[in-house]
Amino acid sequence: MILPAYDTLQTTWDGNHVLQVTLNRPEAGNAINTQMGHDLLDLWRRLTDDPGSARCVVITGSGDKIFCAGGDLKERNGMSKQQWQSQHELFERMFWTLVDLPLPVIAAVNGHAYAGGLELALCCDFIYAARGIRFALTEVTLGIMPGSGGTQNLPRALGDRRAKEILLTGKPFNSQQASEWGLVNALHEQGETLSEALATARVIAGNAPLSVRQIKKSVRYGGQMELRTAYRFEVEAYNHLIETKDRYEGVLAFNEKRKPVFRGE
């Protein structure tokens, strides 16, 4: 799969099936400006329409201090209401296209993640983080509020009471707290977060691609249903895999005591 050269992103392949996406505005704390909104939306759309050989995505930030500082407030300074809303509508499309992406996405949070930067990580399937970094949703201190899923994804990750404290105070919390509260899956030493996320992505990419996508879909949509309906949704997702070539290959490889070769078919 050939991707365009983006102004604000770097895309590199780790092997044949893992795509690394790096937010690449280190001079601005990898803040999300209008161009990055366009770049990320284009990337997520391409991966949705035709992922090619991609089976898992890892997103990280350029440098080792800031994963993403959120929306670019310097660009926003002086914007009219129409300009602000138009930009935010772009961001909304970008975030929701990420949430809807069939491929799993791991956030390798290698530096501080504030406001929209934390919301970006929360829209991923799970998070690996570096020790010693900080997270925050600071919008309330700026006269706005999270508008890219923060008031929905954070309570689902931490529970209402903890999330409301974070959202209403705007106060930062550290990665150790994030780990204890269940926001991040694992903590790693500074400089190792990305490599650990890529290692996990390679494991995921080695599994049956159609199975991975059906699992992601089942977890996401099943979580929004009452339990009995969610069970039925899971079974329908399961039944979709029975006649795939990868299912035959997986069972055959098990019986032949070899590693399966999955092709996403």
Best CA proximity match to 43, nearest among 10, 87, 86, 15: 10
Q: What is the CATH number of the domain that holds 239?
A: 1.10.12
Q: Are 35 and 117 members of one domain? A: yes
- The pLDDT value recorded for residue 119 is 98
The residues near 163 (Cβ < 8 Å, ≥ 6 apart) are 151, 154, 155, 157
- Provide the residue range defining the domain that includes 231: 209-255
Evaluate whether residue 48 is within a structural domain.
Answer: yes
Q: Are 170 and 236 members of one domain? A: no
Concerning whether 139 is annotated as a catalytic residue, the answer is yes
Q: Are 71 and 27 in contact (CB under 8 A)?
A: no
Residues 173-219 have pLDDT tens digits of 999 999 999 999 999 998 999 999 999 999 999 999 999 999 999 99
- Residue 169 phi, psi (nearest 5): -95, -30
Evaluate whether residue 163 is within a structural domain.
Answer: yes
Concerning whether 265 is annotated as a catalytic residue, the answer is no
Per-residue pLDDT, averaged over 97-126, amounts to 98
State the average pLDDT for the chain.
96
How many independent structural domains does the chain possess? 2
Q: What is the CATH number of the domain that holds 136?
A: 3.90.226.10
Q: Are 78 and 176 members of one domain? A: yes
| Selected catalytic residue, list 75, 89, 92, 139 | 139
| Selected catalytic residue, list 89, 119, 165, 226 | 119
Instruction: Answer yes or no: pTM beyond 0.85.
Output: yes
Percent over 90 (pLDDT), the chain: 98
Q: Are 153 and 96 in contact (CB under 8 A)?
A: no
Residue 112 has pLDDT above 90, yes or no: yes
d(CA 220, CA 72): 30
Q: DSSP for 77-139?
A: TT--HHHHHHHHHHHHHHHHHHHT-SS-EEEEE-SEEETHHHHHHHTSSEEEEETT-EEE--G
- The pLDDT value recorded for residue 1 is 79
Give the CA dihedral 189, 195, 198, 202, nearest 10 degrees. Answer: -110
Q: Are 76 and 129 members of one domain? A: yes
Residues 25-73 have pLDDT tens digits of 999 999 999 999 999 999 999 999 999 999 999 999 999 899 999 999 9
